[in-house]
Structure 1
Amino acid sequence: MPESDCLFCKIIAGEIPSTTVLETDTAYAFRDINPQASVHVLVVPRTHHEDAEELAKAPQELADVIAAGVAVARQEGIDQTGFRLVFNTGEHARRTVFHAHLHVLGGEQLGLFGRPGH
């Protein structure tokens, strides 16, 4: 069920414009407006889930989001060179939108994970 004040629910509903990359019955993928890599696409479940922890309670939807992320990587031509799939959950992960979303990143050599500078 969509949340009336959720940015991503509004994007899915077409109330806020986005650049569509892929659509399935259960997931919607669009370009990030502040890309952190040459390819940076967000994949969101069409059903509102606050974060990855909540989405994990709906294992089929979680699997669909991940499958859509892999399909995006293939469609964007980064499946052979490498890509990253990332969920940010909680304050320390610096999550800014409270609708579960998978980041698909690639298209260039990515930095290491973890603490800045490490």
Structure 2
Amino acid sequence: MSCLFCQIIEGKLPAEKVYEDETLVAIKDIHPAAPVHLLLIPRRHIATALDIEAGDADMIGKLYLTAVELARRENLEAGFRIVHNCNEAGGQSVYHIHFHLLGGRKLGWPPG
């Protein structure tokens, strides 16, 4: 598979991992948009949010709860953002679902 995130998960491409378990891997974004910018990526390849099924609920919950755990670990209690983009018009550039955890500065609105 030529998916960038699948290759990172499989150890075929380098990334700075900050967390991993049987469900997901969290890495530092190589082009951070905030002082803390992590990507939380499920090990199982799902291309977009539109491909998530009811059976994926536990995995999605695990991604979200891990994002909050990592926010605490990074001392982001003052505020942070969890972002999930879907398809090109929604800002998705890698077609393997993932959450962005952003923080470490005041985040404006609207984001884009």
The answer to whether the superposition gives a TM-score over 0.5 is yes
Tell me which moved more, 99-108 or 46-55. Answer: 46-55
Q: Which moved more, 1:52-61 or 1:86-95?
A: 52-61
Q: Which runs of 5+ in 2 are unaligned?
A: none
**Deviation readout 1:36-58 (Å, 9 max, x if unpaired):** 00100000001001122323531
Question: Which amino acid is 1:76 matched to?
Answer: E
1:12 maps to what in 2? Answer: 9
Aligned equivalents of 1:45 and 1:95: distance in 2? 15
Does 1:69 find its partner at 2:78?
no
**Equivalents in 1 of 2:93, 2:62: separation in Å?**
22
What is the alpha-carbon root mean square deviation over aligned residues?
Answer: 1.3
> What residue identity is the alignment partner of 1:70?
V
Q: Which TM-score applies when normalising by structure 1?
A: 0.88
Tell me the amino acid that sits aligned with residue 59 of structure 1.
A
Q: Which residue of 2 aligns with 1:93?
A: 90
Number of equivalences = 111
Sequence identity of aligned pairs in percent?
Answer: 38
Partner of 2:58: 60
Q: Which runs of 5+ in 1 are unaligned?
A: none
Is contact 2:87-2:93 (8 Å) kept?
no
Moved over 4 A (4+): none
What TM-score comes out, normalization by structure 2 length?
0.93
Q: Return the letter of the residue paired with 1:19.
A: E
- Whether 2:111 is the aligned partner of 1:110: answer no
- Residue number in structure 2 paired with 1:30: 27
Q: Secondary structure at the match of 2:60?
A: helix
Deviations 1:48-75 (A, max 9, x none): 0112232353111111111111111111
- Return the alpha-carbon distance in structure 2 between the equivalents of residues 96 and 47 of structure 1: 18
